[in-house]
Amino acid sequence: MSSRRPKKTLDSLDYDKLRRQVKEGRIDPLYLFVGEEQYLQERALRTLYESVDESSRVFNVAALTIGSDNGSGSRVTAATVVDIANQWPMMAARRVVVVRDFDKIKEDEYELVLNYLKQPSPTSTVVFQAVAPDQRRKVTQALIKSCTVVSFDLLSEERAKKWAEGFLKLQGASIEPRALERLISLVGTPLARLSNELAKLATYAGEGVISDEAVRELVPRAREHTSWELWEAILERDQKRSIKLINRLLDDDPTAHLMILGAIAGLYRRMLTGKEMMSRGTSFQEVLKVTGQYQRANAFRNRLNRTPRADIVHGLHRIAEVDNAIKNAEGTPRLQMENLVVELTLPSRV
């Protein structure tokens, strides 16, 4: 297994390339997983987990969330992560350590993290996982320079259709082209939701072909209430519509709260990036290139012009607090999400 530490850019690897490398035994000691496609992120983690012998996997695979309870009454810190990463694997050649919410690492622990990145354990693979890391932070910049970065972007509609066809083929099922078009138009391209709907439709169809009529009858109309519409309602200070949208999203999928929260956080981060670039006189075309908002260019420009920077920063702060509260079981996820959109739709702080 390789112990190289290439310095790569955010678009250096994707899921398929990573999977091939792991299958070939080329596993790096440091990875940074970024992007909104959580389904593929989890599949990639499973691929890394499976590189550890199954008989010793329980001793050599750990997933840690910075700031969460470690089970003994104290919180997981950067020191916790480094200590576990430096432990020798038990009855295996390598251990895998996943680090979530690394943006919550405190400044007084930066040096500890930087020292580990300079000299990672040769018998551990540490994966730092995020949706949209804040590239202004020192720890994120260090991770980008030191880790093999793997991007998990949401698939285009055409790629999602090919993926769906392959998913159904493995289950011995198929779908009418028109039905697949309708399904994508309703649920979008996030693979967690798409795979869930495809599995239900395949069960319903049995040995037959999934029809357009089956999609119309069985699939909730989720696409019209996507994170973009919710975000737009929040930025318009439309509290009633925002609450209605968040509840419809959670009615469609009660487990989707973290995915929705991650999507909103990603959009807010793009807003902050765009806001700061434009304040430096950067062309809007360059802003679109960095943020990837080509399909919503005009709406994105309007939001940048109308939303104060302080509101965006405050929104990101509250999103992080709600994320932590949900993961620590403080109130129900639905209540936390409702409270968040209520606060985000209050009058501007400026």
Does residue 306 come out as left (phi exceeding 0), alpha (psi in the -120 to 50 range) or beta? alpha
Angstrom distance (rounded) from CA 272 to CA 301: 12
| pLDDT of res. 220 | 66
- Give the tokens for residue 53: 């012998």
- Give the tokens for residue 88: 């020798």
Look at residue 33 and tell me whether its pLDDT is greater than 90: yes
Strands (E), 160-248: 174-175, 209-210
**Which amino acid, 179?**
A
Angstrom distance (rounded) from CA 76 to CA 64: 7
Angle, CA of 176, 179 and 180, to the nearest 5°: 90
CB 275 within 8 A of CB 312: yes
- H or E stretch including 30? strand 30-34
Say which residues have a Cβ less than 8 Å from residue 329's Cβ, sequence separation at least 6.
none
Q: Report which of residues 255 and 146 the model is more confident about.
A: 146
Look at residue 2 and tell me whether its pLDDT is greater than 50: no
- Mean pLDDT, residues 342-349 taken together: 81
In percent, the amount of the chain with pLDDT more than 90 equals 34
Angstrom distance (rounded) from CA 253 to CA 247: 10
Lowest mean pLDDT among 43-57, 145-159, 162-176, 257-271: 257-271
| pLDDT of res. 226 | 54
CA-based torsion, 241, 247, 248, 250: positive or negative = positive
Does residue 37 come out as left (phi exceeding 0), alpha (psi in the -120 to 50 range) or beta? beta
- Give the tokens for residue 43: 């599949």
Among candidate residues 215, 225, 307, 217, the one with its CA nearest the CA of residue 268: 307
Domains identified in the chain and CATH numbers: 15-151 (3.40.50.300), 157-219 (1.10.8.60), 225-344 (1.20.272.10)
- Mean pLDDT, residues 224-251 taken together: 77
pLDDT tens digits, 109-139? 999 999 999 999 999 999 999 877 777 788 8
Does residue 148 come out as left (phi exceeding 0), alpha (psi in the -120 to 50 range) or beta? beta
β-pairing verdict for 95-100 and 61-65: parallel
Angstrom distance (rounded) from CA 58 to CA 275: 45
pLDDT tens digits, 149-207? 998 888 888 999 999 999 999 888 999 999 999 898 778 788 988 998 999 899 988 87
| pLDDT of res. 282 | 87
Give residue 28's pLDDT band: very low, low, confident or very high (50, 70, 90). very high
Give residue 59's pLDDT band: very low, low, confident or very high (50, 70, 90). very high
Lowest mean pLDDT among 79-83, 132-136, 258-262, 293-297: 293-297
Helices (H), 108-171: 110-118, 138-146, 157-170
CA 150 to the chain's CA centroid: 12
| pLDDT of res. 288 | 80
| pLDDT of res. 11 | 46
Look at residue 252 and tell me whether its pLDDT is greater than 80: no
